[in-house]
Chains A and B, each alone.
Chain A
């Protein structure tokens, strides 16, 4: 399909809100970035989570008390022929400064990670584009010692 600026921008701004809401812990705003039946695959080695409620519980449990900064760069967007869904790849970088519980669990003070989001967006009935599938693949994880902070 011919790329359309309005749909392109809606997808890009959706991902901007995904990052901002995750990092400012605006969980209502973050939840609204996903479809109810989202397939969420962010933990390498674990099975994907199906359903928004379970996915949100996992995310909030994992990093809800950590300082996080997520950045995404240069999207590649492939719209479906009917214009109602799109496959998107984002380059990403995340910085996590762990809280005490996560430090003990992970054995480090946090990380800087580099990789890609592989996502599917769908245009919902209210006209909003939301994430229906997300998979995160890391190229590199640099783990940080406590002394770094």
Chain B
């Protein structure tokens, strides 16, 4: 049975995830993940990255120099003991840096899709992301 506290903790972890990713607060972002996090980004970048430190370093490298806006909506949460399967609707907006715009043939992209995630309740009571995959519905490139 879902308790309001557990549900809210999951929602606030995801809010922290979006805010820290977009403000480039890498310590805050790390705090959203379990140490043994698995990021399955095969649909987008053909990679499965294991471990929180490796994932954060990877995100810092790929998104650190860009303006990014991540918004999530309408969570569906299925609790299974101290873990929960969660789906979030996602919209992200990424502005390419000047030097990449020519190669990307666009100045920005807007993406729509869903996060499929698993959260785990940690000893300090906070729910953190242990697995994450993104399924895109549509990616729109903004012309130069």
Secondary structure at the A interface, as helix, strand, loop or mixed, is: helix
Do the beta carbons of A16 and B89 come within 8 Å of each other? Answer: yes
Q: Tell me if B57 counts as interface (CB < 8 A to partner A).
A: no
Most chain A CB atoms below 10 A, which of B74, B75, B87? B74
Q: Tell me if B114 counts as interface (CB < 8 A to partner A).
A: yes
Q: Tell me if B102 counts as interface (CB < 8 A to partner A).
A: no
Say how far A94's CB is from chain B's closest CB, in angstroms.
10
Do the beta carbons of B137 and A72 come within 8 Å of each other? Answer: no
Chain B residue, CB-CB nearest to A17:
B76
Do the beta carbons of A149 and B140 come within 8 Å of each other? Answer: yes
Do the beta carbons of A15 and B140 come within 8 Å of each other? Answer: no
Chain B residue, CB-CB nearest to A73:
B73
- Say which size band chain B's interface belongs to: 10 to 19
Do the beta carbons of B138 and A97 come within 8 Å of each other? Answer: yes
Known pairs A19-B89, A95-B138; A71 contacts B4 (CB<8 A): no
Say how far A149's CB is from chain B's closest CB, in angstroms.
7
Do the beta carbons of B74 and A16 come within 8 Å of each other? Answer: yes
Mask of A1-42 contacts with B, CB within 8 angstroms, 1/0: 000011001001101110110011000000000000000000
A13: which of B76, B91, B137, B138 is its contact (CB, 8 Å)? Answer: B76
List of 6 A-B pairs having minimum Cβ-Cβ separation, nearest first: A16-B74, A69-B112, A67-B138, A16-B76, A71-B73, A5-B4
B residues neighboring A (CB under 8 Å): 2, 4, 7, 73-77, 87, 89, 91, 112, 114, 137-138, 140, 143
A residues neighboring B (CB under 8 Å): 5-6, 9, 12-13, 15-17, 19-20, 23-24, 67-69, 71-73, 95, 97, 147-149
